[in-house]
Amino acid sequence: MVSTGWALPRVVVAAPASGHGKTTVATGLLGALRRRGLTVSPHKVGPDYIDPGYHGLAAGRPGRNLDPWLVGAERVAPLLRHGASVPTPADVAVIEGVMGLHDGAVGRRGYASTAHVATLVDAPVLLVLDTTAQGRSAAALVLGMRAFDERVRVGGVILNRVGSPRHETLLRDALAEVGVPVLGAVSRSVEVAAPSRHLGLVPVAEQAPESLAVVAALADLVAATVDLDAVLDLARSAPPLTVPAWDPVAAVGGQGSTAAVGGPAGVTAVGGPARTGGPTVAVAAGAAFTFSYAETAELLAAAGATVAPFDPLRDPGLPAGTRAVVIGGGFPEAHADALAGNAALRAELAAFDGPVVAECAGLLYLGRSLDGAPMCGRLDLTARMTGRLTLGYREAVAAADSPVTRAGERVRGHEFHRTVTDPGHGDTPAWRFDGAAHGFVDGRVHASYLHVHWAGQPHAARRLVQACR
């Protein structure tokens, strides 16, 4: 594909560490810029599913992830261009970072960090700084952030949790000494916080009215405290994107036409290629299963499937004509009783003889029980909540053939959960990593805790659609 440069204004919202207010600023920026009549494209560094839900609500289009570990560094800029192009070209892209600016995959010297992604997409960085108990030393911290990697351009700072007008003046004067402009200051007394859960924010789909109120409040806050014109000027300093946009049709080696598929949290993802009349792949959605990358549905459609969302909390059966099922992540433990109450759907899934792919929450739902509540019983396992968090990137090898893998294939994925299953893996496991077996391959079922971004493994979508036939 021949690529032409696209002068897409873009900025990366980063911080020295977690907890400084990146999500507050990024979500507020998306909402405030959208109120100005701009088309904004929301993006998130890393594997997280929850922040993109808030981003999507603020922007009015799906939040998308940019994660070199999951998809390969070479796909990050093309995925940015793709996400900013559909359903319509964006006027500006806002990319929220992950953890601290230079924190990435452990032991990989910053690989998959916010700084790494900023260099891959050639975007300036807007640094959010928690100024609690800091004075002039804040300037030294920002100077260190800027100097640590000369490829990363810190173009401005937003001061967060400022204690008083005098405190703000002190900070602004100190940052002027090191030549870093202050583009906004948020008082400690007016900060807005989103509801939290044991793995982060509460997913948007679980509490739409509260989520709408939080997003509106964040937009108000940023509009009142941040110089939006200066942020736009910083975003416009990014050079043209010259890489071609990622193309789901090319990724799966298929052909398709532009169509719309259902996106997360009520946002419609338009632009995913699809063929009419293809096998129906049912994809779990709703409040219990909110974790899904937008590209998953696009790849399935590009491979020839008709993508049909269903809500295990409410729908009494699978969509008509379902030939395969994909059940992603979420918080089923928060909805265990309601899931258990939908006995008709549980029975249908237990008897379904087509291919089934389940990740994390989907694994728990396919088991016999979750915290004592009956689930589908498709897999002979029980699951329960624990106080231990399992979190991190994984390098895995497929342990068996399945509807989406071939034995011996290597993938990169991500785990985060506070549940355990008994047993921890089946007689035929799905993966091997860290010297152990993980997950289950049982007939045409592939289920595990591992989250995989299919943009990095597009053959999974192609194989699943082929398995329907």
Q: Catalytic residue numbers?
A: 360
**Rounded distance between C-alpha atoms, residue 44 and residue 96, angstroms:** 5
Which value, in Å, is the radius of gyration of the alpha carbons in the chain? 22
The beta strands (E) that lie in 57-103 are given as 64-66, 92-96
Q: How far is CA 164 from the centre of its chain?
A: 35
- Return the number of other C-beta atoms located less than 10 Å from residue 117's C-beta: 27
316's tokens:
């009494």
CA distances for 350 relative to 308, 329, 368, 375, 428, angstroms: 19, 19, 10, 9, 19
130's tokens:
């928690």
Q: What does the buried/exposed string (b/e) look like for 410-440 if buried means 16 or more CB atoms within 10 Å of the residue's CB?
A: ebbbbbbbbbebeeebbebbbbbbeeebbbb
Q: 294 with 264: CB under 8 angstroms?
A: yes
**Rounded distance between C-alpha atoms, residue 22 and residue 14, angstroms:** 6
Q: 465 with 303: CB under 8 angstroms?
A: yes
Q: Are β-strands 369-370 and 356-359 bridged in parallel, bridged antiparallel, or unpaired? A: unpaired
233's tokens:
């000027």
**Rounded distance between C-alpha atoms, residue 104 and residue 111, angstroms:** 5
H/E element holding 116?
A: helix 114-120
